[in-house]
Every structure is written in structure tokens, then in C-alpha cells.
Homo-oligomer: A and B are copies of this chain.
Amino acid sequence: MEPGKSRLLDAVARRVAGHSLEGPYYTDRTFFDLDITAIFTRQWLFVAVDAEVPEPGDCSTVEIGPYSVIVLRDDEGGLRAFHNVCRHRGARMLDEGRGSVGNLVCGYHKWTYGTDGALRHAPAQPPDFDRDCFALKTVHVRSVGGLVFVCLADEPPADFPEVAARIEPYLAPHELRRAKVAARCDLVENGNWKLVMENNRECYHCDGHPELLRTFFPTYGYTRDSVPANLRQAHERYLRADAEMRATYERLGLPYALIEELHERTTGFRIQRDALDLAGESFTPDGTAACRRLLGDLPTPRLGHLALHLQPNSWFHVLGDHAVTFSVLPLAPDKTLLRTTWLVHPEAVEGEDYDPGTLTKVWTATNEQDARLVARAQQGVANPAYEPGPYAPTEYQVEAFCTWYLARLREELRP
């Protein structure tokens, strides 16, 4: 075994259950490279929404560690994904971002590919040049209820179809596949991607989110017995709202049961339809809808939120009036891109049905607050005096994330 590999296995073996991970997981280039290999080139990653590439030729380019992937709607309306690298001398094909193309033309020597990735033209080649050998390299891609995932592995995880099948009924009533993008925001956080994910798995820090806590119950992650004294009043409100919501979900036939399989499977996930506080409709100061036109054909905005968490790199809040998606992309051991996208009904009119500022305000503020906390955590775990400490009971999902993560490393490192 390589010495580097045994050092990594030792670290994994040393982990104390219930405690945070050692510093090097978050700061060391070797661990970062391992994360790219063991997690980001193996798993299905959430990178876009169908609504970003609605028409043939529409494309979106996303950076995944050292990789760059083009997500494209082909001429037949199907989703395609390709490595963003010309087959000639390797030049990058498309810049990062979104656009629309007829063919994919390399800017260097004009090698030209169809939307199916086939090489259509390479200038000035000899007669025996075989274009069929030089199609763009494909990347696995699929949409789950309007959410676009890619997988860089040759063989994607075997359990993803099952996960997708269990998630889709929750998403279906919101019809995200035909939604439209109302707003987008990229935020570079000064912390490791795992700190960004861990931060999202607990509300133990929610004191720092005054805008979010207008509607998001701070009792998230507590059981009835463990709710602390200062949250008991909120918990009472939650129980009443929860009872009402369950009745609504039953009446409308909306799936709502909690599924929580964060560490038991390759594609760890959690899904739950849950109540919100105040008007219970949306993430706004008084909880009323931020968009008048509701998603799909939903008959009422008072639906709380469908919370979906999908490892390794995403979470979602899908409401009656809008949806907001979060994609986490590692840039460096201490730099992570958080990409947030807000979706509304395709016919919702900006300025009439919704105001983008109101729509995005809570999560923009919450993201920035989280970014400050993540930066503070990154600074601390980079200090050699840091030693892993114990998670509180309400942080059990962070523990589950770490357990899942280490299982992935073990799989990668096994002889």
C-alpha cells in the first residue's frame, strides 16, 4: 500500500463516533484530492435544473473540482452531458455559465461537434481521419423531478434509481421540470465543502438566522423530549401547525412522510414535508407566499415546505409558491461554491406575481450568515490546537453525514 494511503486509512480508523472530524479532513490537500476522487467522481451530483436548459442547444457549464462538464439539451430535447474538453488538443470548449449553441465549436481550431457530441467537422484532416473516434466524452446525466444530476463515474451508484423513485412522488406536484428560474446566486464560502454540508444539517446554530427563524421552526432536530426550555413555546406552535399540515397533505394526496437514510446507503438522503411558522406558506417575514402564482396546479400556498437533502452536495426547499435549490461545489480545501437557484411557475410574471428581492431575501441573508460561520469553523479546524469535540444530540444529522462520508472513504481506500 502507498504510504499516503495508509496515513489516510489510519485517520479514518482513528475517528471517534459522535465527535467532529480531525482538522486535516478540512484543510489538507491530500484529503481534498481524496474527496474529489472518492465522492465527487463517484456520486451523482446536483448541478443544475431542467429550467436552465429548456430548449434544444441550451447549455450550462459547471466546474466540479478539476473537471468541467457541459449539461446540454440536445436537438431531440434530451438531456446530455459532456466533458468540456476538445478531443483535438484538449482546449476548453465552453466558458462557465449558461448559453445556447447550434453546434459545439472549439474556439481553438474549430473542431465542431453536434449536440449529440459527435464530431461533425475537423478541418484539414487526411482522408483516413476517423471522426467517429473523437466524439466528446460523455458524462452520465439524469433529471429527477426537474433537478439535474450528473455522475462522472463509469458506473454510477447502483442505488440512485431507487432513491430517485422514492423522491419523485414528493416533487411531482410542484412540476419543477417546467418551472422557470427567477433568480440565481453564487457565493464562494471560505471553508471546506464538508463544513458547508455539516452546517446545513443542524439548527443548533439557528440563533444566527433571524430572517429564517421567522418561519423556520428552530426546534428542527429536537425530539419532543429534548426540546430545550427556551424553545418550548415554539415547539407548541410547531405541533399545532404540524397537525394542520398533515391534514392538508392527506386531503391533497401529497406525500409527506419523513424518510431519513443519511448514512445507511451510498446515496444518503433525507426527505420530509413539514410545517412552517406564521402564515406557513413561504420564507417571508410574515410567512405569506412570495409568488402569487403557485407551482404546478397546487390549490393552496399553505403547504409548509418539502425539505430534501441529498448527499453529497445538495439540499432543497420546495414550497407551494416557489422552490429553492442549493448546490455545493468544492473549489479548494478551504473554498467552496454554494450555488442557489430560485424557481417559480413558468407563467409567473416578475414585478406582478413576485418581486425577486422578496423572493430571495431570506436565503440570501441566511447563506451569508452561514458563510461567516463556516469561515469561522474553517479557521478553527486549521489550528493545530483543535481537537474533535462532541456533537450535541440535536446534531445527530451531522454525525450521520460524517458516518456516511467515512464509509465512502473506506470504500475508496480498501485494498
The chain A residues found within 8 Å of chain B, CB to CB, are 20, 23, 66-68, 83-93, 107-110, 122-126, 129, 134, 137, 204-205, 207-208, 222, 226, 228, 373, 376-377, 379-394
- Starting from the known contacts A83-B383, A88-B389, 7 additional A-B residue pairs (CB-CB under 8 Å) come to A67-B384, A83-B386, A85-B380, A89-B389, A90-B388, A91-B376, A109-B392
* Residues of the B chain whose Cβ atoms lie less than 8 Å from the Cβ of A67: 383-385
Do A83 and B376 form a contact, CB below 8 Å, given A90-B23, A123-B204? Answer: no
- B389–A66 CB distance below 8 A: no
Do A68 and B383 form a contact, CB below 8 Å, given A89-B377, A91-B373, A377-B108? Answer: yes
Give A126 to B394 CA distance when docked, in angstroms.
Answer: 10
Specify how many copies of this chain sit in the oligomer: 3
* Residues of the B chain whose Cβ atoms lie less than 8 Å from the Cβ of A124: 204, 222, 226, 228, 392-394
Give A385 to B387 CA distance when docked, in angstroms.
Answer: 38
Give A84 to B377 CA distance when docked, in angstroms.
Answer: 11
Q: Tell me the nearest residue of chain B to A375, going by C-beta.
A: B92
- A377–B91 CB distance below 8 A: yes
* Residues of the B chain whose Cβ atoms lie less than 8 Å from the Cβ of A126: 393
- A91–B380 CB distance below 8 A: yes
- A377–B90 CB distance below 8 A: yes
Give A231 Cβ to nearest chain B Cβ, in Å: 9
Q: Tell me the nearest residue of chain B to A133, going by C-beta.
A: B390
